[in-house]
Amino acid sequence: MTNKSTPFIVISGPTASGKSELALALAEKYNGEIISADSRQNYKLLDIGTAKPSKDELKRVKHHLIDFLDLNEIYSAGRFLKDSRALINSISLSGKVPFIVGGTGFYTKSCLEGLPEIPIIPDEITGNLKKIIKEEGVKNLYNELIEKDPAYAKTIASTDHIRLVRSLSVIRTTGKPYSSYKVGDGERIKRPYFHFLIDPPKEVVKQRIAKRTIQMINSGWVDETRKILEMGYHVDCQGLQTIGYKEIIEYIKGKITIEEAEKKIITITGQYAKRQQTFFSTQFNDGFDLKLWPADISKMIPILDGYLMIEY
């Protein structure tokens, strides 16, 4: 069997769906390594607030694309495409099974289906958009996005200034909706894979998010955030745009109570999970090989035994 025919496994799902624990068990069983498709766990220092794997879990199974970025760095789907495909090749060559695991659907889709060619954006356009956000906030720009590309506007939070700048810079440069540059228009990966979607009911997701948020706060999320600020990182740095940190910072600064922070985080995370589920249900051209809930490893082992044996 050639390296290019070596299969890999993909596990997608919304936040708090249990995909990480499931992937850890499967990677142990099948001698695998995990490639994280989580756009926030790649930042250093953000351990509790991103539910990053513990030191023990990282010892049990080798993880990639976790804990390697400075909080001021920007990481993109384009970089993930290159990094993840290179890792799939190297892991396969080592005789192990690659597992792509995470809830950032745009990352996973870019790896599997490629990225479209987007024209070069003039620096002045991007700079002007960033200046508007700094001086006026995001409200007017989000309204502009709703007007010019309502389809894409529905997929992002109104406060997501990174994606606002990215989408509006393309729109202002090309005159075309950002959503017209579809992920999947690029070169698809030339390798077989089996794609699981962990697909819990919305009410279950809400309950799990609430439980996990409380656990994270009780585990020292406030202290983790306070230490980051004491290190000199600005509240507007890229890493601290991660869900929950803004609310924890508001608590640290005495603007809200910890109960209010907890409630806001649960609400915002729930909204994010809803967008994730919408993305998973509409944006993957090839769909999924299996959707399942609960995330029961006993249902997956017979399938993977057969799939990996057939390929090998």
CATH node for 123-180: 1.10.20.140
The per-residue pLDDT for 224 is 98
CATH node for 3-116+183-311: 3.40.50.300
pLDDT at 303 over 80: yes
Q: Are 223 and 45 in contact (CB under 8 A)?
A: no
Taking the alpha carbons at both ends of the chain, their separation in whole angstroms is: 7
Arithmetic mean of pLDDT over the chain:
92
Q: Which pLDDT band holds residue 93 (cuts at 50, 70, 90)?
A: very high
Q: Is 70 helix (H, G, I), strand (E, B) or coil?
A: coil
Structure-model confidence comparison of residues 296 and 222, the more confident one = 222
Whole-number percent of the chain with pLDDT over 90: 74
Q: What is the DSSP letter of 61?
A: S
Domain segments of the chain as ranges: 3-116+183-311, 123-180
Q: Is 163 helix (H, G, I), strand (E, B) or coil?
A: helix
Tokens matching residue 10: 């993909």
Q: What is the DSSP letter of 18?
A: S
Nearest to 299 by CA among 168, 220, 197: 197
In this prediction the pTM is 0.83
The per-residue pLDDT for 118 is 74
The per-residue pLDDT for 184 is 56
